[in-house]
Amino acid sequence: MLQKRSRNLIVVKQLFVNIYLELLTEYYGIRSDNNIDNTIKILNTWLKEQGSNYFSVNVTMDPKTQGHEDEKGIADWTPSRFEHIIKLREEVLNYARKIWADFIFMLDADIFLTNPNTLNLLISKNVTVVAPILKSDGMYSNFWAGMSENYYYKRTEEYESILTKTKIGCFNVPMIHSAILIDLRRKDTDFLTYDSQYFNLYNGPRDDIITFALSANYSGIPLHICNDENYGFIMVPLENQDIIEQDYQQITNLKLEMLAAADQEFIQISETMKSFVVYPKKNTLGLSNIYMINLFRRPERRRRMLACFDELGIKAEVINAIDGRTLNESILNSWNIKIMPGYKDPYHKRYCKYRPMTMGEVGCFLSHYIVWNKILEDNHMYTLVMEDDVKFEPYFRQKLTFILQELQHFKSDWDLVYLGRKQMQKDPENVVNGSQYLVYAGYSYWTIGYMLSANGARKLIDAKPLENLIPVDEFIPIMYNNHPRLERIF
């Protein structure tokens, strides 16, 4: 449920809007209709703030339309909805040709470009049609690497290798969508179209993006997807019967992905747009308390975690970690700390040397130790302890609720539950009887996120770990008797 965050340098700047935008070199086009929310108000606020930055803004917003005929829900793509989107796209493509635009950048509203340099980067690729890769909270993205004989999505191995960046660059693929740059200066783009009625050889479905892909293929224009940079993110489309709440949940998932990817900066919303962003009410997820351990000199991690908590509606207490840099022998003595003599790191044992604990590791242990004591002092029954470099998996809140229910039913006497860990043991783990997701943890590393019961906290403290200190993620497996090399020494 929790992953350790990997490092990526990107700057995130994004406007949260829910419409269909097209950018014509310096012309800016906006089309919005069939809204069931305050999209038009948001757009007008944005236009007031940003509109003057463009040479010309061409806006059509229809506040009256309320969905297409035969539509069963907000995500139901009826024939008339397809006709409408085909017409919009075709109209703007032709308009761009008419005004001799050099480029057209077609951008759908359910994407978040987090790289402010995207347009320049795409232009610099010097190809006719190109899309920046957009990540979702799962395997979905804005390209296909295979197309079936009847022009639908085909699974391929190449898809995964582009998505996961096992190969990096710009690749020729049969389909790109949602964010597309077309170099209209090149004559061979003259026959690109979203509308199959202008395309004699077409025998695919009446669908804007499939038509576009095939018209490119027939024009001999390769479609490119570039994964050489972090460009942005995309929402997974809803299923036909889905409701708006699923979209809200997905946007939370996606914002958490963005927060995990950003290193220094994260989603910034201009002051005027802030009032439109609604966060869930905060609580402790049914636990007695939630702690987040953060080093005071890492404020960017603290800010990022607090932003994640805002998105997830998590009320957490920030604990100032003990900074290893401020520790020395005399301080350790004053705490009565004795580092376990001859402590050997079992997973780096091939180096065959005894590794003393670093002060950083001591500080980390003490930080967790302080939290365990606090849990007992404040009489908390069930708590969650997190470090500050956590990446939340999609649907974190729902998953946690489910786990707590399972614990209540199948394992009410639990001490500690890892919510994220590095599994060190290859052997299969025993399943907790009756439960779907709980296993008895084998040897595991990391302390990025775990739940503790009062009993669990008591056991950790009673073991008097400071008298024989080892790294905290070695200590915990010893406490549940699942450490491969160290004898149970307490």
Ligand X SMILES: *[C@@H]1O[C@H](CO)[C@@H](O)[C@H](O)[C@H]1NC(C)=O
Q: With beta carbons less than 8 A apart as the criterion, state whether 50 and 14 touch.
A: no
Q: State the pairing for strand pair 2-4/390-392.
A: antiparallel
Based on CB atoms, which residue is closest to ligand X, 174 or 465?
174
Q: State the pairing for strand pair 20-24/103-107.
A: antiparallel
Window 61 to 120, contacts with ligand X (CB under 6 A): 91-92, 95
* DSSP 8-state code for residue 358: P
**Minimum distance, C-beta of residue 88 to ligand X, in the bound complex (Å):** 8
Closest by Cα among 411, 392, 421 to 314:
392
Choice from 52, 330, 334, 481 touching ligand X (CB under 6 A): 330
**Minimum distance, C-beta of residue 346 to ligand X, in the bound complex (Å):** 26
Is residue 121 part of the contact set for ligand X (CB under 6 A)? no
The amino acid present at 25, given as its one-letter code, is T
Q: State the pairing for strand pair 444-453/382-387.
A: antiparallel
Stretch that binds ligand X, among 161-169, 195-203, 236-244, 325-333 (CB under 6 A): 325-333
Cα–Cα distance for residue pair 123/130, rounded to 1 Å: 9
Is residue 331 part of the contact set for ligand X (CB under 6 A)? yes
Q: Find the largest Cα–Cα distance for the chain.
A: 85
**Minimum distance, C-beta of residue 60 to ligand X, in the bound complex (Å):** 7
- Between the two ends of the chain, the Cα-to-Cα distance in Å is 30
Is residue 123 part of the contact set for ligand X (CB under 6 A)? no
Is residue 222 part of the contact set for ligand X (CB under 6 A)? yes
**Minimum distance, C-beta of residue 357 to ligand X, in the bound complex (Å):** 17
Based on CB atoms, which residue is closest to ligand X, 151 or 392?
151
* DSSP 8-state code for residue 54: S
Applying CB under 6 A, the site for ligand X has a residue count of 16
Is residue 482 part of the contact set for ligand X (CB under 6 A)? no
Choice from 6, 126, 379, 412 touching ligand X (CB under 6 A): 126
Sign of the C-alpha dihedral computed for residues 449, 418, 310 and 242 taken in this order: positive
Based on CB atoms, which residue is closest to ligand X, 65 or 172?
172
Is residue 156 part of the contact set for ligand X (CB under 6 A)? no
Cα–Cα distance for residue pair 126/134, rounded to 1 Å: 20
**Minimum distance, C-beta of residue 56 to ligand X, in the bound complex (Å):** 7
Both tokens of 80, joined, read 């008339």
Based on CB atoms, which residue is closest to ligand X, 18 or 217?
217
Instruction: Determine the Cα angle at 310 with ends 304 and 312, to 5°.
Output: 105
Is residue 412 part of the contact set for ligand X (CB under 6 A)? no
Contacts with 275 (C-beta within 8 Å, 6 or more apart), sequence order? none
Window 343 to 402, contacts with ligand X (CB under 6 A): none
Is residue 334 part of the contact set for ligand X (CB under 6 A)? no
**Minimum distance, C-beta of residue 85 to ligand X, in the bound complex (Å):** 13
Is residue 191 part of the contact set for ligand X (CB under 6 A)? no
Alpha helices in 164-293 (DSSP H): 208-218, 244-261, 271-274
Please report, as ranges, the residues that interact with ligand X according to CB under 6 A.
58, 91-92, 95, 126, 172, 217, 220-222, 326, 328-331, 433
